Amino acid sequence: MPNQLLPLVTAELGAPADPRAAAMAGALVAKYPDAARAVLFYGSCLREANLDGLMLDFYLIVSDYPAAYGKSWLARANRLIPPNVFPFEHNGLIAKYAVLSEADFARLNSVEADNVSVWARFAQPSRLLWASDDLARQRTVAAVAQAAPTLLSLARPMAEGEADALALWKAGFTLTYNAELRAEKKGRSLSIVDADPDRYRRIGEAALADGLPSSPADAPALWRRLQSRGKRLSVIRLAKASFTYAGGIDYLAWKINRHAGTQIVIKPWQRRWPLLGAVTLLPRLFRGGAIR
C-alpha cells in the first residue's frame, strides 16, 4: 500500500513554531500533569510573526477525561459534547485550548466523525509542540493524517466529478464552512487554499495517491446531516462555554468583529448573563451575514 501522505504530515507537524507558542504549550501541559498526551498549535496565528494581541489556538490531547478532571462534571461534559474549551494566559499571550481524549481525537479526524469541526481544522496546517512519549506522538500524527483524506473523500462526491486536488479542497472547505456557525467573511473557505496552493496540492495529491477512505453512497444526505448537526452543536458548545469559559461572550464578539468586520459591543447585562446574551446575538448575526 502506498504511504505518501504520512511523511508529509509528520514533517509539517514537526516544523518549527514560534518559541512563545511552544512555551505556552509547556505551561499548558503543567496544568494537566497526569493526563496530557500531546499539544497541537493550529489556526491563523501559525502564519503570524507577531503574536501580541492575538488569540492563539491549541488542542490539548489527554489520555482520558477522568484523568484530566477527576470526578468533575467537566469530564462528563467533555465526553458528551466534545471538546471542552478554556481560556489560557502565559507570559503576556492569550489563548484558548480545546480538550479531547486520544480516542476522541482519532475518531473526530476520521470519516466516522458525526461533525466536521476537528477534521476540517486539522486538514489545515498545525504543529505538534509537545508529546508525552513516542507512542503519544505516533498516535497524534496518525490521527491528524486522517483529516485531509476525510475532507477530500467526503467532498469528492459533491464536486461534480472534479478530480483536481485544489478543486476538491475548495469544495470541501466550502461545505465545512456551511456546517458550522462561522464568523468569517464570504469567500474565506476558498482563500484558505489560495493562501498556500502548493501545500494543498502536495497534501491533496499524496492523499489521492494513497487512496481515500470510502465515502457514503448518499453524499448529499450526509452533508445535510452534517450541516444540520454542526449548527446545533455550535449553539450547544456556545451554551457549554458560558460555564467553562470566563469572558466567553467578549471573546465571541472579538472573533466576530475580527473576521466579519462588524462592530459588536457587548452590553453589561450580556456579561451578567452570558448564555442569554450570546443567544440574543444570533438572529442579528444571521441577518447581517456575520455568521453563516
Q: Which residues pair with 61 in a beta bridge?
A: 38, 100
Residues in contact with 198: Cβ distance below 8 Å, sequence separation at least 6, in sequence order: none
What is the rounded (10 degree) CA torsion for 136, 137, 143, 144? 150
In the numeric block, which cell numbers belong to residue 218?
448518499
Q: What pLDDT tens digit does each residue of the chain (292 aa) get? A: 569 999 999 999 999 999 999 999 999 999 999 999 999 999 989 988 889 888 899 999 999 999 999 989 999 999 999 999 888 999 999 999 999 999 999 999 999 999 999 999 999 999 999 999 999 999 999 999 999 999 999 999 998 767 799 999 999 999 998 887 665 555 566 789 999 999 999 999 999 999 999 988 899 999 999 988 887 787 677 667 666 666 666 666 666 666 556 677 777 777 666 666 666 666 666 555 555 5
What is the strand order of the sheet 55-62 is part of?
Answer: 84-90, 93-101, 55-62, 36-42, 126-131
Give the total residue count for the chain. Answer: 292
pLDDT, tens only, 66-82 = 999 998 999 999 999 99
Where are the domains positioned within the chain? Answer: 5-246, 247-292
Residue 262 and residue 287 in contact, taking contact as beta carbons nearer than 8 Å: no
Q: Superfamily assignment of 5-246 in CATH? A: Beta Polymerase, domain 2 (3.30.460.10)
Residues 6+ apart with CB under 8 A from 135: none
Joined together, the cell numbers standing for residue 155 give: 467532498
Convert the pLDDT of each residue in 11-50 to its tens digit.
999 999 999 999 999 999 999 999 999 999 999 899 888 8
